[in-house]
Amino acid sequence: MEYILNVPADTEKLKELRAGDSVLLSGTVYTARDAAHKRICEALDRGETPPFELAGSAVYYVGPTPAPESCCIGAAGPTTSGRMDAYSPRLLDAGLKIMIGKGGRSKAVKDAMRRNGAVYLAAIGGAGALMAASIEQAELVCWEDLGCEAVRKLTVRNMPLTVAIDSEGRDLYEIGPKAYLSKGE
């Protein structure tokens, strides 16, 4: 199935998604990779407010390239999500609802997703220009010293994604190959 999804995310809408579904995502998405995740968790440990509202939010694991003239962002392809696995359960428990990246996730992340009704959406690896085409606006939020890994607020429209892991823990990276291999029998 194909779904139109807006952020901030509605937990009930996320429950409708199934691993393998296509999603066109619109709204506000924040960029954050491992260094930013570490700083967000450190801020939470100190009792500080994170740099953006986590409740219902979406985070894209991306370090975009510099914007060419007349564009708001450069290539914006996903990075490997497993690098954020040490921090993701904490952010999910704090309200994060959508993670966007590529590659599999740990059991701890999947458990936190089920516990919090969150989803993991896969972006097309190697297609940074395609992903950037759905980004209408990009603005620096914090940690400019991280360069391309600084936290940015993106306004996206119809970003093409696939549900890799749904809120029930169904994992396309596990069920997809099994379904493919069973066709050959």
DSSP 18: -
Residues 105, 81 contacting (CB under 8 angstroms): yes
* Active-site annotation holder among 30, 31, 33, 37: 37
Residues 79, 103 contacting (CB under 8 angstroms): no
Q: Kindly list the distances between the CA atom of residue 101 and the CA atoms of 49, 54, 161, 162, 180, in Å, as whole numbers in the listed order.
A: 24, 17, 9, 10, 23
Active site residue 37: yes
Q: Which residues contact 46 (CB under 8 A, 6 or more apart)?
A: none
Residues 64, 31 contacting (CB under 8 angstroms): yes
Q: What are phi and psi of 53, to 5 degrees?
A: -65, 120
Residues annotated catalytic, as ranges: 37
